[in-house]
Amino acid sequence: MNFSRAAPRKGENFELRADLNSEYRDKRKDAIKRVIANMTVGKDVSGLFPDVLKNMQTDDLEQKKLVYLYLMNYAKSQPELVILAVNTFVKDTDDPNPLVRALAIRTMGCLRAEKIIDYLCDPLQKCLRDENPYVRKTAALCVAKLYDLKPELVMDNGFLEQLQEMVSDSNPMVVANAVTALTDIHVSASSLPPSPETEKAFFVITQTTLQKLLIALNECSEWGRVAILTALARYKAQDDQESEHICERVIPQFQHVNGSVVLAAMKVVMIHMRNVHREDIVKQFTRKMAPPLVTLLASPPEVQWVALRNINLLLQKRNDVLSNEMRVFFCKYNDPLYVKVEKLDIMVRLAGDSNVDALLSELKEYASEVDVDFVRKAVKAIGQTAIKIESAAERCVNVLLDLISTRVSYVVQEAVVVMKDIFRKYPSTYEGVIPTLCANLDELDEPEAKASLIWIIGEYASKIDNAGELLGTFVDTFVEESYPVQLQTLTAVVKLYMKKPDSAQAIVQRVLNIATKDCDSPDVRDRAFIYWRLLSADPAAAKSVILAHRPPISLARTTVSAALLDELISEISTLASVYHKPPETFIGRGRIGAEDVQRLAAEQEDEGMTRKALQTVAAGQQAENLLDFDDTPADEGRASGLAATTFTSTPAAANLLAGTSANPLDDLVSIFGGSGLNDTRGGASNVNGSPFPGGVMSPVAPASAASPVPSFSPGVTSPTQQKPQEDLLGLF
Amino acid sequence: MEVLDRLRVARGLVARPRPAGSPTTAFFIFNQKGEVLISRLYRTDLKRSIADVFRIHVVSNIDVRAPIITMGSASFFHVRVNNLYVMAVTKNNANAALVFEFCYRFISIAKSYFGKIDEESVKSNFVLIYELIDEIIDFGYPQNSETDTLKTYITTESIRASPAAVEESSKITSQATGAISWRRPDVKYKKNEAFVDVVETVNLIMSAKGSVLRADVDGHILMRAYLTGTPECKFGLNDKLVIDQSERGMSDAVELDDCQFHQCVRLNEFDSDRTISFIPPDGEFELMKYRSTSNVNLPIKVIPTITEVGTSQVTYIVSIRATFNSKLSATNVVLRIPTPLNTTTAECKVQNGKAKYMPAENVIVWKIPRMQGGQECTLSGTAQLTATTHRQAWARPPIDVDFQVLMFTASGLLVRFLKVFEKGNYHSIKWVRYLTKANGGYQIRTISNVWMSFRSCLVMCRAIFGRKGRTTSGASLIPRN
């Protein structure tokens, strides 16, 4: 090597250039490989464009592919130079070797440089009519590539009509790719503002196409089957009979070895089954769905997870699908956590009188595993089972007592939270448990568990002799506790006062004093003032408000609204069905209208169980603000869409934080200025990180009556107002 | 033309969503450090820097709790294999099952090409991998992914585009797209032979008391067909397909809960009259997969007695029994018996095989090379524990058993017949082999309820001595008097 040369004439690229122009073929090829290797690790080798291009004209297929790979990567940045390659491409599309022809047309479509596009039409025209099916199927996809770049060229050259003809091709693979290309074009056309041009590009499936698709379905490759099944899912059947016919033709695909084919077939059957009204046929179809769904559980964990999320949806729609199959969802020790959590959820869904014993002993096993998250979920599942199956509630409570006796801190805490729900569902049934729970008072260190236990004490204050003493300990440390615990302490003490007015007067005065004077949460302060006013103004009204009858809670059969469920069923096996969210929420591409926003707002209500999925999305959206990796320039349409999605999912992100930060309210309060955050609605309590997620489950004090009376609370703006407080104090 | 112009303007302004299609936008392979080994973008709506996002959020994140992560409008699907991440990115409501199936297909193709898939093999074959992924995905849509067909035209030696190759290519392309994409028409063998292997994997979850919580069989029927021409095959098993649950209870028939077939099997014929007929691919392929959950014959029974003696010792008595016919034998029996994390040494005595404590995995591995049917072996041992400040109780993972038993099927499945039809005087020889094995899914739990109460005593003792367990992180215990 000669080190004395000028700067631009040394370095790796210089060496590569020399080798690319070498007279030896092997050396040239080796150099191309090194160029590709550099390209892969992200080094800029675009400067070698002309030198690489020289090696394009070769009869070595491998070398040709390498050069093409290079071209595809840099064509966009070097459009003038790509022109030089056009000749070779066009020549190659006339090559006697079909592999070369297909390669040329495939690569030309990928170059994505305006200059070369105009030269693409003629060869593409030729390849679409090629005698070789391999070339035809490659050309079919190339039309979609062209549409993506310059739709008018596809329209002007009649490529669209040709594609539609190709749906009747004799070769199943060509049919599949024609369907794929048409769907791709349909999708991009439907995202554009409507015009006659875009409407022409829509892929309408007629009855004749339907027949063609059903025939090709049995013959093409697995991926082709998925494409065809996706198209079939869009078809609107003319009548019941046709729907039945489609289902019957698609059901054999349940036996396919590829999980995505099975799920795509499920989707078609679920959609078309809506039109089938004969009970026996529906039953027969449903029965055939169970075995393949169970088989999907033998797939690799990732596929399994997708399947489980979809099974969860299917069960919400048709709870009879897997009624006898709970055992297959038992967790294996080495299942990944995400699979285990999903299995737990499904097991609770499938729980019934007949299998509840097996389920409980299984859940008890899980509660002794290592992963804290999973253990908590298992304990929670025991509570859900108790709420779901009344006859098994007692057994569930016994299991929970067993778990509490292990004294493993997080198990005990979760069990206490769960017991609170059980008390909500079966009031005054399991009072015998209360002493055991109270005995664990010292073990509790998590706000949610503490708040739950305090709620229980307040609720059953009349039956617990030392309720005042127990609550007293919490009043002593009132200011140190987190806000949810403060709120519950406050309410519980007031309840105690209602039930035992004589003995509890001192404590209630003390807690109201602390809450109104020393507490820095407006929420707690407000509630204290409201109680204070109520107690002093009209004790009878206070009693009817504070000790109001609460409707019993029940386990929601669905986690999403009925309309959304139907939409998600039509999206089986896609991301939407995995997240249990409509696609707009995570694609975030400026397509959210007022209607969608409304619907989204409605969904916030039944967030509960699907929160986790959204958290991932929300975290992602935040990440996108930091890392703008989008190629397309930001524009108005997009921005508004993002803004919309970010807004709706931020509370969920806050929820995510709520798990770790001690005072999630701090942040929220500073955002909302402390107003309108009364912990009064179930939905609100869910959003602001109170200890009772899920509207139905929250045993919030019946302060709903208090929400319309903000004027009652005088100390919101100036907590040091002395006068009204003195008046109130005088009343006691 | 005005319309077109407007169209173009509109396209320039509005970002293009793809809500319903399912193309893969990009495909990457990363090593463990998050370095890009392979990167291929299929659409222009992403930059290569998307790889950095994945590295930050998945590779360097120790707490990844889902295989899909959505960041903004891009979703990352990843599969870990050996020391690699195989990752696909989509920018829409992608078909999640398809993307993962595709990732796994890629892995199996790579394995079949390079023998294994790891950083080294990817690095040394990157040219071939680029060639492969361009062939199996076009514009983000998976294309032909049959390994046998791919191997005919994507090879480690480069193909010259000679005139002779043209004819060959025509054949290849028609095979790659044909209705029988899995078979070349001109197959010739001197001797027509077909080998059928029935391989069953038993999955078991058994409680410590010996009751079966879950037992099922994943069966694979593998076939190696060396047959001339394009023969038509018919295949019969002693199955009674449980499509109608009410028809249960046939005598010697085996109930298969579900079965799935290689794409060569005519699914509609199977759906109508339960015949398995097909034209086999040349060479080795998986004809069928099935699942059976009823009457599973468990070939190996394990009875563990694990006792924690104080806090310093755990004693083990584990006996294993082969329950099958004494003419058969199990080979490569490996038991993995869990030990607490704070084990210092473990002593084991065994009559058969070898037992060794593996500190890195926290298990005692007991290997028995061969066990005759009916035979019983016992391991007795003790693990010594160190005192520890880590107070979380030992979670007691299950005992895991791996084994192989030849000429035995746990489901009781037998091949009744395999008929081969082809024109002319056609003779064929058929061989059948059975194998039952367990591979990580044969688990015997070691937690008994007796132990649960024992553990609670232990924790209570600690509580009495003032060493209150506080295993949760985060909130601190506020002293209260």
pLDDT in tens, A481-528: 899 999 999 999 999 998 888 888 889 999 999 999 888 889 999 999
Q: Which three-class secondary structure state does DSSP give residue B462?
A: helix
Residue with tokens 């956590």: A337
- Contacts (Cβ under 8 Å, ≥6 apart) of A394: A430
Q: Which three-class secondary structure state does DSSP give residue B190?
A: coil
Q: Sorting pLDDT into bands at 50, 70 and 90, what band is A642?
A: very low
Q: What pLDDT is attached to residue A345?
A: 92
Q: What pLDDT is attached to residue A363?
A: 92
CB contact under 8 A, B263 and A222: yes
Q: What pLDDT is attached to residue B259?
A: 83
Q: What pLDDT is attached to residue B377?
A: 92
d(CA A285, CA A246): 12
Quick check: A320 contacting B, CB < 8 Å?
Answer: no
Is A309 exposed, middle or buried, given 0-12, 13-18 or 19+ CB atoms closer than 10 A? buried
Query: In which order are the strands placed within the sheet that holds B84-90?
Result: B36-41, B26-31, B84-90, B74-81, B68-71
Residues B208, B447 contacting (CB under 8 angstroms): yes
Q: Which three-class secondary structure state does DSSP give residue B178?
A: coil
Which of B41, B171, B260 should one mutate to test binding to chain A, selecting the residue with the greatest count of A CBs within 10 A?
B260
- Chain B residues whose beta carbon lies within 8 Å of the beta carbon of residue A288: 243
- Chain B residues whose beta carbon lies within 8 Å of the beta carbon of residue A205: none
B388-418 pLDDT tens trace: 765 566 778 889 999 999 999 998 888 888 8
User: Can you give the pTM of this predicted structure?
Assistant: 0.76
Q: What pLDDT is attached to residue A127?
A: 92
- What secondary structure letter does DSSP report for B265? B
Per cent of chain B over pLDDT 70 is 80
d(CA B370, CA B263): 38
Task: List the structure tokens of B267.
Answer: 């699914």
Quick check: A639 contacting B, CB < 8 Å?
Answer: no
Higher pLDDT, A690 or B139: B139
Phi/psi of residue B386, each to 5°?
-90, 160
Phi/psi of residue A414, each to 5°?
-65, -40
Phi/psi of residue B329, each to 5°?
-145, 150
B16-66 pLDDT tens trace: 333 345 688 899 999 988 888 998 888 877 777 888 888 888 888 777 778
Task: List the structure tokens of B446.
Answer: 């070691």
Q: Do domains B17-142 and B308-398+447-456 have the same CATH topology?
A: no
Angle CA(A273)–CA(A278)–CA(A282) in degrees, nearest 5? 45
Residue A555 is which amino acid? L
B412-458 pLDDT tens trace: 888 888 888 888 888 888 899 999 999 888 999 886 544 444 444 44
Q: Which three-class secondary structure state does DSSP give residue B243?
A: coil
Q: What pLDDT is attached to residue B389?
A: 65
Q: Which residues of A149-164 are buried (b: 16+ CB within 10 A; e: fewer)?
A: bbbebbbebebbebbe
Of B103, B144, B170, Cβ closest to residue A98: B170
Quick check: A59 contacting B, CB < 8 Å?
Answer: yes
CB contact under 8 A, A306 and B216: no
- Chain A residues whose beta carbon lies within 8 Å of the beta carbon of residue B442: none
Residue of A nearest to B152 (CA): A99
Residue of A nearest to B215 (CA): A328
Higher pLDDT, B202 or A670: B202
CB contact under 8 A, A406 and B244: no
| Pairs of residues, one from chain A and one from chain B, whose beta carbons lie less than 8 Å apart | 411
A466-494 pLDDT tens trace: 888 889 888 988 888 899 999 999 999 99
pLDDT at A657 over 70: no
Higher pLDDT, A610 or B384: B384
CB contact under 8 A, A218 and B97: no
Residue of B nearest to A308 (CA): B97
CB contact under 8 A, A99 and B286: no
Which of A66, A589, A626 should one mutate to test binding to chain B, selecting the residue with the greatest count of B CBs within 10 A?
A589
Of B37, B262, B459, Cβ closest to residue A257: B262
Pick one of 3.30.450.60, 3.20.20.70, 3.30.2350.10, 3.30.70.920 as the CATH number of B17-142: 3.30.450.60
Domain range summary for chain B, segments of one domain joined by +: 17-142, 194-297+408-438, 308-398+447-456
Quick check: A63 contacting B, CB < 8 Å?
Answer: yes
Instruction: Using CA atoms of A495, A501, A503, A504 in order, give the dihedral in degrees to the nearest 10.
Output: 40
Q: What is the mean pLDDT of chain A?
A: 78
CB contact under 8 A, B260 and A253: no
Q: What pLDDT is attached to residue A136?
A: 93
Mean pLDDT of B123-151: 87
Phi/psi of residue A676, each to 5°?
65, 20
Quick check: A447 contacting B, CB < 8 Å?
Answer: yes
pLDDT at A205 over 70: yes
pLDDT at B125 over 80: yes
Q: What pLDDT is attached to residue A17?
A: 85
Q: What pLDDT is attached to residue A8?
A: 52
Q: Which three-class secondary structure state does DSSP give residue B47?
A: coil
The DSSP H or E segment spanning B170 is: helix B163-177
B292-312 pLDDT tens trace: 888 888 999 998 988 888 788
Q: What pLDDT is attached to residue A719?
A: 36
pLDDT at B102 over 80: yes
Which range among A310-314, A335-339, A720-724 shows the weakest confidence by mean pLDDT? A720-724
A330-357 pLDDT tens trace: 998 888 999 999 999 999 999 988 899 9
Quick check: A445 contacting B, CB < 8 Å?
Answer: yes
Distance from CA of B451 to the nearest CA of A (A): 11
Which range among A577-581, A587-591, A665-669, B222-226 shows the weakest confidence by mean pLDDT? A665-669
- Using alpha carbons, list the distances in angstroms from residue A359 to A254, A338, A352, A356, B7: 29, 19, 9, 5, 59
Q: What is the DSSP string of B111-163?
A: HHHHSS-SHHHHHHTHHHHHHHHHHHEETTEE----HHHHHHHS-SSPPB--H
Q: What pLDDT is attached to residue B21?
A: 54
A382-421 pLDDT tens trace: 999 999 999 999 999 999 998 888 888 889 999 999 999 9
Mean pLDDT of B116-123: 90
- Using alpha carbons, list the distances in angstroms from residue B238 to A551, B194, B293, B321: 57, 19, 16, 28
A71-127 pLDDT tens trace: 888 887 777 888 888 888 888 899 888 888 999 999 988 887 777 888 889 999 999
- Chain A residues whose beta carbon lies within 8 Å of the beta carbon of residue B219: none
d(CA A157, CA A168): 20
Residue of A nearest to B391 (CA): A408
d(CA A148, CA B17): 12
Higher pLDDT, A696 or B241: B241
Q: Sorting pLDDT into bands at 50, 70 and 90, what band is A588?
A: low
Q: What pLDDT is attached to residue A151?
A: 87
- Contacts (Cβ under 8 Å, ≥6 apart) of B58: B64, B69, B76, B78, B85, B87
- Chain A residues whose beta carbon lies within 8 Å of the beta carbon of residue B161: 59-61, 95, 97, 100
CB contact under 8 A, A99 and B395: no
Q: What pLDDT is attached to residue B9?
A: 35
d(CA B176, CA B144): 7
Residue with tokens 């899980």: A366
Q: Sorting pLDDT into bands at 50, 70 and 90, what band is B465?
A: very low
Which of B64, B76, B143 should one mutate to test binding to chain A, selecting the residue with the greatest count of A CBs within 10 A?
B143
CB contact under 8 A, B97 and A307: yes
B318-328 pLDDT tens trace: 999 999 989 99
Quick check: A551 contacting B, CB < 8 Å?
Answer: no
Phi/psi of residue B466, each to 5°?
80, 10
Q: What pLDDT is attached to residue B434?
A: 93
Estimate the crossing angle of helix A356-366 against helix A393-406, to 10 degrees.
20
Residue of A nearest to B176 (CA): A134
What is the ipTM for the molecules in this complex? 0.78
Q: What pLDDT is attached to residue B391?
A: 58
Instruction: Give the homologous superfamily in CATH for domain B194-297+408-438.
Output: Mu homology domain, subdomain B (2.60.40.1170)
Mean pLDDT of B130-157: 84
B266-288 pLDDT tens trace: 888 887 777 888 988 888 888 88
Distance from CA of B478 to the nearest CA of A (A): 7
- Chain A residues whose beta carbon lies within 8 Å of the beta carbon of residue B292: none
pLDDT at A637 over 60: no
Mean pLDDT of B174-179: 66
Per cent of chain A over pLDDT 70 is 79
CB contact under 8 A, A76 and B44: yes
Residue B257 is which amino acid? D
d(CA A340, CA A332): 8
Question: How many CB atoms sit inside 10 A of residue B337's CB?
Answer: 27
Mean pLDDT of A636-644: 37
Strand pairing class (B232-237; B415-421):
antiparallel
CB contact under 8 A, B291 and A620: no
Residue of A nearest to B481 (CA): A473
- Contacts (Cβ under 8 Å, ≥6 apart) of B157: none
Q: Sorting pLDDT into bands at 50, 70 and 90, what band is B110?
A: very high
CB contact under 8 A, A477 and B459: no
- Contacts (Cβ under 8 Å, ≥6 apart) of A21: A28, A51, A54
Of B72, B396, B398, Cβ closest to residue A623: B72
Distance from CA of A530 to the nearest CA of B (A): 29
CB contact under 8 A, B100 and A219: no
CB contact under 8 A, A62 and B158: yes
Q: What pLDDT is attached to residue B258?
A: 82
CB contact under 8 A, B159 and A144: no
Distance from CA of B100 to the nearest CA of A (A): 6
CA nearest A478: which of A466, A491, A467? Answer: A491
Sign of CA dihedral B440, B446, B449, B454: negative
Quick check: A226 contacting B, CB < 8 Å?
Answer: yes
Q: Sorting pLDDT into bands at 50, 70 and 90, what band is A679?
A: very low
pLDDT at A11 over 90: no
Instruction: Give the homologous superfamily in CATH for domain B308-398+447-456.
Output: Mu homology domain, subdomain B (2.60.40.1170)
Of B92, B214, B244, Cβ closest to residue A328: B214
**Number of alpha carbons in the 13 Å side-chain half-sphere of residue A583:** 27
Q: What pLDDT is attached to residue B450?
A: 42
Residues A44, B146 contacting (CB under 8 angstroms): no
Residue of B nearest to A576 (CA): B93
